[in-house]
A and B are shown apart, each in its own frame.
Chain A
Amino acid sequence: MTKEKNNREIVIPGEVIAKGEEYLPGEGTEKIGNEIIAIKYGLAEEFNRLIRIIPLSGVYQPRNGNVIIGEVENITFYGWVVGLDAPEDAFLPLQEVPKYVSKDGLSDVFDIGDMLVAKIVGITNRGIDLTVKGRGLGKVEGGIIIKINPSKVPRIIGKEGSMINIIKQESNCDITVGQNGLIWIKGDEIENELLVKKAINFIAEKSFASGLTDEIKDWFEKEKNEGKRSKK
């Protein structure tokens, strides 16, 4: 790969990104012989001879410690089966709920169709385990849930949460972004929630552009003016 640092390049699966023993395979790549080969569609990035791919599309890949938003799909004797909108379902065991639950009262805590914010604590070959012990975790009530491509999640959050904080300030809404691409928005008025939804879709669409955080401020300004005009 003869390219400068920080120069990201779009690669497709099977493409040889780099040749040579000195390169190391990172996320989304594989080393076959002395070639680094892409196994995902995305932007290839090199840092200290480590090559990794920032995926541009694809399904959610669960990781330890991720905070996700899921939907209760089934109730068993020992806990809840939670759908993450990923290829695999996750499991929330009884003992990971921070209060006493009687064996007959599982559906009082989380019923089928309920949405919850949870954290992934373990990925074994048996499946994905969740917990709702912790701040900000648990059942979500009120508001709306929207879905974006999981690979766009880092853009929505921004550097150290810069993007999401702007959206929160401008709209007065509570926003929880799950790493699996589900986003929970709750505000006092439905109009504000819809404004957030529009803003997030705007960012997801423009996720390749740089300087988005400044752009989103202008965008909010514009939207608010338009809103005022239509109210008059």
Chain B
Amino acid sequence: METSKLTGKRIKEYLFQGKRFDGRNLEEFRKITIEKNVSKKAEGSARVKIGNTDVIVGVKLDVSEPYPDSPNKGNLMVTTELLPLSSDRFESGPPRFPAIELGRLIDRGIRESKFIELEKLCIKEGEKVWSVFIDIYPLNNDGNLIDAAGIGAIIALKTARFPKYDEETGRVVYGEFTDKKIPLSKDIPLIITTHKAGESIIVDPTLEEEDVTDVRVTIGGSVNGLIFSLQKGNSKELTIEEMSKILDFSEKARKKVFSEIERYLN
């Protein structure tokens, strides 16, 4: 059930006082728990929990043809399936707008940051390159799926190992892993979504809060303050002051989240 108008009004009133229903600050994240290598068959995987939100991200590698416009670069593909088990709002079937958008947001954040050194994934120019597939599966949706998926994606990429590649037959031998890791750059893109509810700017909303937010801004950036990607969601507008506040909030949140997940990044 969607959050009712009445509850929404109360949430906004409370946010205006600087308080949240679960007792957090406006710029505070819920507890983040991370589990690495949850899947035995995937090349890399991670399970990220932010509060009650629970997401599994898997990385799969395959050898395929490069795209004509990037003959010497590997391919990157991010797909999301919003599983019906994770929320009463998701239905099975072909992906709809929210699922496609979530995939695109993570894709853009990772691609534009040049986090994966796609040039190094080339086997033979114009013929064979490695393809990286990132699959996102939410197990429980209690708001802020985007950030959870973003954290999951970078950790899954960090843990991923190449499978054995048989050069004679040109096939990938799944199930046999090598020690080689995906070539990654040092600039880690952390995707943080900031929301505006009423007059207040918040990060990491619960599902209830997410229902009443007017504007959503997703920013992919590094801890040093570099911004790689930016997308605004929902239909309301923002003033310049609000936008600078959002940038400020997301940078603070990014530093805090990074310090929490840093130990999983090795």
Contacts and interface: CB of A to CB of B under 8 A. Distances in A.
Interface stretch (B2-10, B117-125, B223-231, B256-264): B2-10
Interface string A18-53: 000000000000000000000000000000000000
A143 interface: yes
A230 B4 CA distance: 30
A190 B14 contact: yes
Q: How large is the interface on B (under 10, 10 to 19, 20 to 34, 35 or more residues)?
A: 10 to 19
Interface in B1-31: 1, 4-7, 10, 13-14, 19, 21
Contact of A143 (B1, B6, B14): B6
A115 B3 CA distance: 11
B13 A145 contact: no
Interface in A172-229: 184, 190, 193-194, 197
A114 interface: yes
A144 interface: yes
Interface in B194-251: none
A113 B9 CA distance: 12
Contacts of B10: 143-144, 190, 193
A144 B7 contact: yes
B10 to A, nearest CB: 5
A58 B7 CA distance: 24
A115 B13 contact: no
B6 A144 contact: yes
Contact of B6 (A85, A115, A147): A115
Given A85-B1, A147-B1, A194-B21, A140 B14 contact: no
Consensus secondary structure, chain B interface: helix
Contacts of B6: 115, 140-145, 184
A114 B7 CA distance: 11
A190 B1 CA distance: 22
A99 to B, nearest CB: 22
A154 to B, nearest CB: 20
Interface in A93-115: 113-115
**Which of A71, A142, A144 has the most B CB atoms < 10 Å from its CB?**
A144
B13 A190 contact: yes
Interface string A126-155: 000000000000001111111100000000
A57 to B, nearest CB: 13
A223 B6 CA distance: 25
A182 B10 CA distance: 17
B140 to A, nearest CB: 16
Contacts of B5: 113-115
A115 B14 CA distance: 20
A114 B5 CA distance: 7
A204 to B, nearest CB: 15
Contacts of B7: 144-146
Given A141-B6, A144-B6, A184-B6, 19 more contacts: A71-B4, A85-B1, A113-B4, A113-B5, A114-B5, A115-B4, A115-B5, A115-B6, A144-B10, A145-B4, A145-B7, A146-B7, A147-B1, A190-B10, A190-B13, A190-B14, A190-B19, A193-B10, A194-B21
Interface of A: 71, 85, 113-115, 140-147, 184, 190, 193-194, 197
10 contacts: A113-B5, A141-B6, A142-B6, A144-B6, A145-B4, A146-B7, A190-B10, A190-B13, A193-B10, A194-B21
